[in-house]
Structure 1
Amino acid sequence: MVRYSEGALLAQARTQLAALLPEDFELGEAVLDDQGPFDGPDAVWQLREQHAGYGLILVEAKQSLTPRDVSRLRERLSGPVMRLMRGPTVLVVAPWLSPRTRALLEEAGHSYLDLTGNVRFRIDRPAVYLRLQGADRDPNPKPQSQARLQGPKARRLVRLLVEATPPYRSKSLAEAAGLTPGYVSKVLSSLDEQALVERNQRGLVEHVDWPALLLSSAGSYDMLRNNQASTFIAQEGARALYARILADIRRPDVVLTGSFAASSIAQVAAPAQLVLYVADPELMRRFGRLLPTDRGADVVLLKPEDTAQVEGTRTTDDGLRQVGLGQLVLDCLGGNGRLPEEGQAVLDWMRAHEDEWRRPDLPRLDR
C-alpha cells in the first residue's frame, strides 16, 4: 500500500487542483488575521481571481476516509470553525475515495479530490464548479480484515436488513437468516463502517440505510451469472405465456421476478422479458414450449444461488408468487437491458411507500 506524508498529499492535491483551474485563477496558502495558516484543518488555501475576489478553502488531508468518517468530519467541522472562517469551501483530499464516501461528502456539502482523479469542487467566490471521474476501485487496497458485501450469505443478510424495521440484535439476525453469529457480527461491523447501518454502544442495530444498502449489494451481483440461468424464446410470446401461467392451475412451481414483477409495482414500459425462478427448468421448458437461444431471449429461467431468494415472497391476486421487494431490486439492478432502470423505479416506489412493505419483525427463513 502506497502511503503519502501529509505534506506530500497536500502538495500533490494542490498541484492537481491548480491544473484544473483557468489560467487567471491563483491558488495559494491563506494567512488568517496575520497569525499564519489556520491551525484547525490540515491547510487553508485561498483561491483568487482578479475581478471576482477570493474565497477560502478549508482542506482536510486523509490517508483514507471511510463513509463512517464522513459523519465524524461533519461533527468536527461544526458551527464555530465554519463561522470563524465565514463559511469556507471544505475540501477533502485523499489518495482514493470510495463511491459511497464521495456520495456522503457531497450530501454533506463538502468538496473532494483524490489522486486517482475523482474531483468535485465547488466554490461560490470566485465561482468555480469542477466534477471529474476517477477510479471507483482502490488502486492500492488494504488487506481485507472485514467481511465484504458479496456472496449469497451476505445478500441473504442484506434482504433481512432491508425488509425488517430495526431495532434488532446481531444474534436475532443470525437466527432469522440461518447464519453464524460471528459472520453476522463481522458483516455488521463492515456495514457500520460504511455508514449503511447505525448501531448503538451495545451493538443493537437502530437504523438501516436500506436504499444505499441495496445499491451497494447490487454492485457485486449479476442476476444471470450468480444464478443458474437458461434463456429461451416463447413461441407464443412472453406476454401470452405469462397470461397462460396465471390462468393455468397446473402450471409448474415458479416465482416471478424481473420486468413483469417490477411493472406491477412501478411500470417504466410494457414488460417484454419474462424472468422466473424455477424448481425444475425442464418442466417449465415443456410447459411453456420454450426454444433455447443465446440471443434475443424473451424468457429467462433461473435456479437460485440461494434458496432463501425465493422465500418471503409476495402473492398476486392470481395466486402467482413474486420475489420479495429486496430481491426484486437486486435482480433488476443486476440484470441487463431495461432491468436496471426498472429496478430504480421499484426502489423509488419503496422509498415513497416504506410503511406499506417493510415488516415490523424479522422474517425467519426456512432452510
Structure 2
Amino acid sequence: MSERDLLLRASERLQATLPAGWDVQITASTHPEVDANLKLERFGSPVLTYRVETKRTITRADVLSLLGKQRYITERLARQTDEAEPWLLATRYLSRQIQDLLRERDVSYIDATGNIFISAEKPLVVISERGATADPWRGVGRPTTSLNGLPAALMVRALADYTPPLTVPELAKVAGASIGAAYRLVDYLKNEGLLSRVDRGPITEVDWPELLRRWSQDAPVLNANSTRGFLEPRGVDSVVQKLGKTTSPQRYAVSGSLATQPYAPYAEARLGLIYAEDPMALAADLGLRPVESGANVILAAPRSPVVFERTSTWRDITIVAPSQAAADLLGGPGRNPAEGEFLLDWMKENPDAWRRQFDR
C-alpha cells in the first residue's frame, strides 16, 4: 500500500464516521514539507483544514521525532503565511500504545483500519472511532510487536533489574533467553523508544518505568497466569505469619501490595498475591479456603519462572523483586495501579537498592 493509497483508504474510513452533510476532501499541499491537506466540510463550507503527515508504518520513536519536526515546520510556516492549521497523522495501522501517545500530545490521527481521533478547539470538533486492534498487514515471521509471552517476561525483568551497559548476548544470558529472541526484542524496544543502543554495540539506556508499564498492559498478571481465589478469615497478615512459619517445600514468591511493604507501602494490604509452583498444595499447607467471590488471597501458577528470580526476604517470607511487584500492581485491579506508580516513584529514587550490575 502506497502512502497515497493509505491516505485515501483512511479518509474513506473517516468519511464513514461523519454525519450527513459532512465531507472529507484530500488536496495537494503547496508546501514541500507537508504531504497533503485534509479538509472537513459541512454542507460545502470549510470547517477545518489539517496538514497531513503520511507514514506507511510508525513506531513510538518515530512519533517523538515527528512531533519535533512538526513543531519546527509549524513555526516556520506561521511566519511565512500566518497560517496555523493543525497536524494530522495518517498511517496504515496504529497500535493502541501509539494512539495513547498521540492523544497525550493532542495530535489527531487516522489509520487505514479505522482507528480515528480528530480533535480541534476552534471550532470545537471531536471525532473518535476504533478500528483494528492488530496490524492486518503484518505477516508471519515479522519482528516482535508485543511484550506478551515467556521470552519477553524474561528479558523485560532483566532490562529493568540490571543497569546498562549490557550487550545483547549478555541480556540473553542473564535473562535465560535465546540470542535471536533478545535481538528481536531489543530492536522492537529501540523502535518504541524504550531503550537506546549503540549500533552493533551495547544497550546504553533503558526507560525501565515505561517498559514495566507497557509489560503490565501487554501481559497483565490476572491474564498472563493461572489464578485462583482463596479466603483467609483472619486476614492477609495471618497469611504472612503462616508463610513465615511454613516448612512446605513449595517454592513461592509473594507479590502485589504485600511485596511493596519493605520499600514503599501505599496502604495496608487487603489482598495477597502469591505465586506458587503448586497453588493447591500451598493453599492446603496454609489452610486457605477456595472461594468464588470475596477472596483476600490470590494464588497464581506462573507461566514464567522469572517471578522466582532475584527475590528477597521480608518477615521470613519470600517476596518478588520490586520490578515484578510494580508490573503486577500496574496491571492489577482496583487501587493496584496507584500502588504500582507509588512503588515506581520509590524505585526511581532508590535505584541502588534494587538494580544490580551484570557480573562479567
Q: Deviations over 1:139-190 (max 9, x none)?
A: 4433332245322222111011123333322122122223333321221012
Give the superposition deviation at 1:41. 2.1
1:22 Cα deviation (Å)?
A: 7.2
Aligned-pair distance for 1:257? Answer: 1.1
With 124-133 and 21-30 compared, the bigger mean Cα shift is at 21-30
Residue 194 in 1 paired to residue 189 in 2?
Answer: no
Tell me, yes or no, if structure 1 residue 102 matches structure 2 residue 99. yes
Tell me what 1:128 maps to.
Answer: 125
- Confirm or deny: 8 A CA contact 1:47 1:126 kept in the other structure: no
Whether the 8 Å CA contact 1:176–1:362 is kept in 2: the answer is: no
> Among residues 204, 210, 215, which one is paired with 1:217 in the alignment?
215
Aligned length: 350
Map residues 1-367 of structure 1 onto 2, 5 A cutoff: 3=1, 5-17=2-14, 28=25, 37-46=30-39, 56-80=49-73, 82-85=75-78, 86-147=83-144, 148-221=146-219, 223=221, 226-227=224-225, 229-234=227-232, 236-245=233-242, 248=245, 254-262=252-260, 265-267=264-266, 270-278=268-276, 281=279, 284-316=282-314, 318-335=315-332, 337-338=333-334, 341-351=335-345, 353-357=347-351, 359=354, 361-362=356-357
Deviation at 1:61, TM superposition (A): 2.4
- In structure 2, the CA distance between the partners of 1:348 and 1:133, relative to structure 1 (3 Å rule), is farther
2: CA distance, partners of 1:296 / 1:145? 44
Structure 1 residue 99, shift from structure 2 partner: 1.3
Letter in 2 for 1:114: D
Change (3 A) 1:125 1:172: same
Summarize the Cα distance change of 1:284–1:249 in structure 2 as closer, same or farther, 3 Å threshold: closer
- Alpha-carbon deviation of 1:81? 5.2
- Offset at residue 261 of structure 1 (A): 2.8
Aligned letter for 2:62? D
Question: For the residues of structure 2 that align with 1:20 and 1:82, how far apart are their CA atoms?
Answer: 32
User: How far apart, in 2, do the equivalents of 1:216 and 1:201 lie?
Assistant: 24
In the TM superposition, residue 75 of structure 1 has moved relative to its aligned partner by 4.8
SS in 2 for 1:146: coil
What is the percentage of aligned positions where both structures have the same residue?
26
Once the two structures are TM-superposed, the CA of residue 59 in structure 1 deviates from its matched residue by 0.6
TM-score (norm 1): 0.78
- Deviations 1:30-75, CA, capped at 9 Å, x for gaps: 68xxxx633322202345789x986541112233222232234335
Q: Secondary structure at the match of 1:40?
A: coil
Mapped to 2, the partners of 1:301 and 1:259 lie a distance apart of: 14
Point out the more displaced range, 124-133 or 187-196: 124-133
C-alpha distance in 2, partners of 1:258/1:208?
24
Q: Secondary structure at the match of 2:138?
A: coil
Shift in CA distance, 212/99, structure 1 to aligned 2, threshold 3 Å:
farther
Residues in 2 aligned to 1:272 and 1:144: alpha-carbon distance in whole angstroms: 44
Distance of 1:103 and 1:362 partners within structure 2: 33
> Are 1:257 and 1:328, in contact at CA under 8 Å, matched by a contact in 2?
yes
Shift, 1:98, TM fit: 0.6
Residue 354 of structure 1: CA displacement?
A: 0.4
Amino acid across the alignment from 1:176: V
CA deviation profile, 1:259-291 (whole Å, cap 9, x unmatched) = 4335663536x5333222235646533432223
The residue type paired with residue 154 of structure 2 is R
1:220-262: CA deviation from partner (whole Å, max 9, x where unpaired) = 435356445454333x334253253366375766421134335
2:239 and 2:286 in contact (8 A); partners too = no
Instruction: Check 1:132–1:249 CA distance in 2 against 1; reply closer, same or farther (3 A cut).
Output: same
Measure, in 2, the Cα distance between the counterparts of 1:108 and 1:223: 29
Q: Answer yes or no: is the 8 Å Cα contact 1:89–1:122 preserved in 2.
A: no
RMSD value over aligned CA atoms? 3.6
Task: Answer whether contact 1:82 1:88 (CA < 8 A) is retained.
Answer: no
The Cα shift of 1:113 comes to 1.3
Separation (CA, whole Å) in 2 of partners of 1:249 and 1:14: 63
Moved more, 149-158 or 325-334: 325-334
Deviation string 1:180-235 (CA, Å, 9 cap, x unpaired) is 3332122101221222222222332223232332233234435356445454333x
**Alpha-carbon distance in 1 for matches of 2:169, 2:330:** 30
What 5-or-longer segments of structure 2 have no aligned partner?
A: none
Contact 1:26 1:47 in 2 (8 A): yes
